């Protein structure tokens, strides 16, 4: 089952911000402490919206903008079903909250008025869907696990514990004398009546179509990126003989490379060299087949093949376009087109990329960072009160994005690339060596002037941020480093988040209180969900080999 992550960002009428926070607070209170006799905590939402994994409602105050109200949702399947279920469950509350928001100035204005007018019964879903933001980068730690399956396999795990428990303090437990294969067979026999779904094969978590789509999107992205980067070189290749072209670009390349060499080191006091945890090919994912590319030889071959493929495809498209515009025959056009495409490609690596990096490095050396962001002690206290109550925690943050053409281009492209790469390589929940994120996403708001981040993660906030600092600082610096006040970065991915204390202070200051937060399976970490899945997958099989059984039984 494919999961969806989205957010709805609505501007709040400034005078109504406190009222909105109070409405969210009331909802939280009602769900947190339901009246005696009614359903369990958050039971209304859990039962009413069976596709929902995690959801939050927050209000972000800002010194630069009016407050925004953000609905963050992570659920199974398409958005339409989710909005329908949510409206049926929390429609009254949500409508009251929407009334605290501004009427959009664009074409959604009439719809807003229709859903917020007194006694309105106009469905909310179309409005919410119209105001939905798609994330720029997102990560799903339990890819392809629908909520029902996570809960079902969790119950199965608890049932295995009950079956394996000693029935009497003085009697021998029959399971203790068994081999792993016998334990499997007996446990399956004992559990099958209560869990008839064990007879059905496990649903496929990532379908071949989804996987092919992810890969195709990444390849198309890389293709377009190369094409764009080769434009300056390709233009010159039209008028320059290839020998002269190569000499000019080699000389330019050397000049830029030398300048970069001189600027490579961090400025005094701004470096944070880290021994490990950077963004390397092998850090992207641990068990993904594609990361066998982490080996330099396979990586080199793969890059060669991809570049050759690029020349072939780009030349074919280029020739076709040339035929269209000039009307000349293909035989006379294909040869010069290949020449322009190939020289353009050479210029990407000889000059364009080094020149962009040089430009970036110049910016980085002059960027100001926010060493001591003001921290509102009242907000801190409210965050502290809400954190560390269940196995997971939640954070939501909004920051300003650094201005400038290069920053914008790099940042947007970097996000798009990172998002596509994550879809392809992060299929087993791991980001680098960390696997503590259920659902996280970044999204640009206000025409890209602000970046929003939401995460539903395991363990404490401190440990989550420390994971980023210690195990995934490279990718994180890429994703967050172009925001105002971020600790000093180098070459887009170095230092940055390795300035641990400064990074934590910056992240904390960007956060708002998670006023309402729902987690559908509050006891299970990502690791635990995967453990349940291994146990369930074993039990779905009629018999295991000795080797399989020995590995399987370790999870019990």
Partner 1 sequence: MGKGSMTPPASLSSAGWKLKAPHDAQAQGIVVSGFSDLYWAEALFLEADQPGSGWIAALRTVAPITDATAKQVRSAVLAFTCPGLAKLGLDEHDLGTFATPFREGMYQEDRLRRLGDKIDGKWEPTVIPGGPVWGGNNNAQTSGPFKTVHALLLLYDKTEAGVQNWADQLAKTLAPFGVNIVHKLSLNLQPGENKIAREHFGFADGMSQPIPYGDSVVVSNNPSSNNRPSERNPWHGVPLGEILLGHANAHHEKAPGPYVRSKTNRVADLTREGAPEGFLNLGLNGSYMIVRELRQDVAAFWNSLKANAERIQHHDPSATPVTADWIAERIIGRTRDGHLLCPAGAVPPAPDGQPENDVGFLQKDPYGHGCPLGSHVRRSNPRDGLAPDLAAAQTILDAANNHRILRRGRKFGLPASDPYHDDGQERGLLFICLNSDIARQFEFIQQTWVLNQNFATLFDETDPLVGPKGRFTIHEEGKPLRRIVEVETFIRMAGGEYFFLPSIPALDYLASL
Binding site for partner 1 (CB under 8 A): 157, 164-166, 169-173, 175-180, 183, 271-277, 282-283, 286-287, 381, 384-385, 387-389, 391, 430, 432-433, 435, 458-460, 462-463, 466-467, 469-471, 498-502, 523, 525, 527-528, 531, 549-550, 553-554, 556
In sequence order, what are the residues at sequence separation of 6 or more whose Cβ sits closer than 8 angstroms to the Cβ of residue 367?
A: 402, 488, 489
Cβ proximity to partner 1: between 67 and 277 the closer is 277
User: Closest Cα partner for 440 from 411, 465, 462?
Assistant: 465
Residue 138 CB burial class (10 angstroms; 0-12, 13-18, ≥19):
buried
**Least spacing, CB of residue 213 vs partner 1, in Å:** 27
Closest CB 206 distance from partner 1, rounded Å: 19
Helices 526-540 and 180-191, interaxial angle, to 10°?
Answer: 90
Minimum gap (Å) between residue 283 Cβ and partner 1: 8
Cβ closest to partner 1, residue 62 vs residue 282: 282
CB of 68 to partner 1, least distance (A): 27
205 or 386, CB closer to partner 1?
386
Q: State in angstroms the smallest separation of the CB of 498 from partner 1.
A: 7
Q: Which is nearer to partner 1, 157 or 454 (CB)?
A: 157
Burial label for 5, CB within 10 Å (0-12, 13-18, 19+), is buried
Name residues whose C-beta falls within 8 Å of residue 117's C-beta, 6 or more positions apart in sequence: none
Please provide the size of the chain in residues: 556
**Angle in degrees, CA 176, 540, 542, rounded to 5:** 70
SS (H, E, C) 454-501: EEEEECCHHHHHHHHHHHCHHHHHHHHCCECECCCEECCCEEHHHCHH
Whole-number minimum distance, CB 31 to partner 1, in Å?
Answer: 17
Considering beta carbons, is residue 342 or 383 the nearer one to partner 1? 383
Determine contact, residues 46/520, Cβ cutoff 8 Å.
yes
Q: How many helices (H) and strands (E) does the chain have?
A: 20, 11
Neighbours of 454 (CB within 10 A): 26
User: Quick one: 16 or 489, whose CB is closer to partner 1?
Assistant: 489
426, 284 Cβ separation under 8 angstroms: yes
- Judged by CB, which is closer to partner 1: 326, or 460? 460
Please, which residue, 335 or 375, has the CB nearer to partner 1?
375
* Closer Cβ to partner 1, 97 or 383, answer by number: 383
With CA atoms as reference, report the closest residue to 341 among 452, 428, 443, 237. 237
Least Cβ distance, residue 529 to partner 1 (angstroms): 10
CA atoms within 13 A on the CB side of 432: 17
Alpha-carbon span 285 to 294, nearest angstrom: 10
CB 182, min distance to partner 1, A:
9
d(CA 401, CA 317): 36
Question: What tokens were used for 64?
Answer: 């630069």
Minimum CB–partner distance for residue 323 and partner 1 (Å): 50
Residues 6+ apart with CB under 8 A from 390: 519, 522, 523
CB of 272 to partner 1, least distance (A): 4
The smaller minimum CB distance to partner 1, of residues 44 and 459, is found at 459
Residue 163 CA to residue 186 CA, distance in Å, equals 10
**HSE value, Cβ hemisphere, 13 Å, CA-based, for 351:** 19
Between 18 and 523, CB nearer to partner 1? 523
Is the Cβ of residue 340 or residue 529 nearer to partner 1 in the bound state? 529
Q: How far is the CB of 456 from partner 1 (least distance, A)?
A: 15
Supply the minimum distance, in Å, between the C-beta of residue 169 and partner 1. 5
């Amino acid at each position: 089952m494919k999961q969806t992550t989205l957010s709805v960002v609505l501007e709040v009428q400034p005078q109504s911000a406190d009222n909105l926070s109070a409405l969210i607070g009331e909802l939280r209170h009602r769900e947190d402490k339901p009246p005696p006799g009614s359903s369990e905590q958050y039971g209304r939402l859990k039962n009413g919206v069976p596709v929902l994994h995690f959801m939050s409602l927050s209000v972000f105050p800002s010194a630069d903008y009016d407050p925004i109200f953000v609905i963050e949702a992570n659920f199974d399947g398409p958005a339409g079903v989710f909005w329908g279920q949510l409206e049926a469950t929390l429609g009254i509350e949500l409508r009251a909250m929407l009334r605290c928001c501004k009427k959009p100035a664009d074409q959604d204005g009439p719809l807003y008025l229709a859903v917020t007018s007194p006694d309105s019964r106009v469905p909310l879903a179309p409005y919410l869907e119209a105001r939905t933001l798609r994330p720029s980068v997102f990560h799903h730690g339990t890819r392809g696990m629908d909520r029902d399956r996570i809960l079902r396999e969790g119950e199965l795990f608890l049932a295995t514990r009950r079956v394996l428990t000693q029935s009497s303090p003085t009697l021998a437990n029959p399971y203790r004398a068994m081999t792993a294969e016998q334990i499997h067979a007996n446990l399956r026999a004992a559990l099958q009546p209560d869990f008839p779904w064990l007879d059905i094969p496990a649903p496929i978590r990532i379908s071949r179509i989804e996987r092919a789509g992810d890969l195709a999107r990444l390849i198309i992205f890389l293709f377009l990126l190369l094409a764009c980067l080769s434009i300056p070189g390709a233009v010159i290749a039209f008028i320059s003989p290839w020998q002269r072209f190569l000499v000019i670009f080699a000389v330019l390349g050397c000049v830029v490379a030398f300048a970069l060499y001189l600027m490579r080191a961090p400025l005094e006091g701004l470096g944070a060299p880290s021994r490990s945890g950077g963004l390397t090919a092998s850090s992207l994912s641990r068990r993904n087949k594609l990361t066998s590319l982490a080996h330099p030889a396979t990586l080199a071959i793969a890059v060669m093949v991809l570049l050759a493929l690029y020349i072939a495809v780009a030349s074919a498209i280029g020739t076709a376009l040339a035929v269209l515009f000039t009307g000349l025959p293909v035989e006379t056009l294909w040869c010069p087109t290949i020449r322009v495409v190939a020289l353009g490609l050479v210029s990407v690596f000889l000059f364009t990329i080094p020149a962009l990096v040089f430009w970036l490095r110049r910016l980085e050396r002059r960027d100001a960072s926010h060493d001591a962001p003001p921290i509102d002690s009242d907000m801190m206290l409210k965050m502290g009160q809400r954190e560390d109550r269940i196995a997971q925690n939640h954070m939501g943050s909004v920051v300003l994005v650094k201005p400038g053409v290069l920053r914008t281009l790099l940042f947007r492209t970097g996000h798009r690339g990172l998002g596509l790469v994550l879809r392809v390589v992060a299929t087993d929940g791991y980001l680098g060596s960390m696997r503590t994120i259920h659902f996280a996403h970044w999204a640009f708001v206000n025409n890209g002037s602000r970046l929003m981040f939401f995460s539903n993660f395991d363990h404490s906030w401190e440990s989550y941020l420390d994971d980023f600092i210690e195990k995934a600082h490279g990718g994180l610096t890429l994703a967050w480093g172009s925001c105002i006040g971020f600790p000093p970065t180098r070459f887009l991915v170095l230092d940055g988040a390795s300035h641990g204390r400064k990074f934590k202070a910056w992240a904390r200051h960007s956060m708002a209180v998670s006023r309402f937060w729902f987690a559908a399976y509050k006891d299970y970490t990502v690791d635990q969900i995967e453990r349940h899945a291994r146990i369930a997958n074993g039990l779905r099989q009629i018999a295991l080999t000795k080797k399989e059984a020995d590995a399987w039984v370790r999870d019990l």
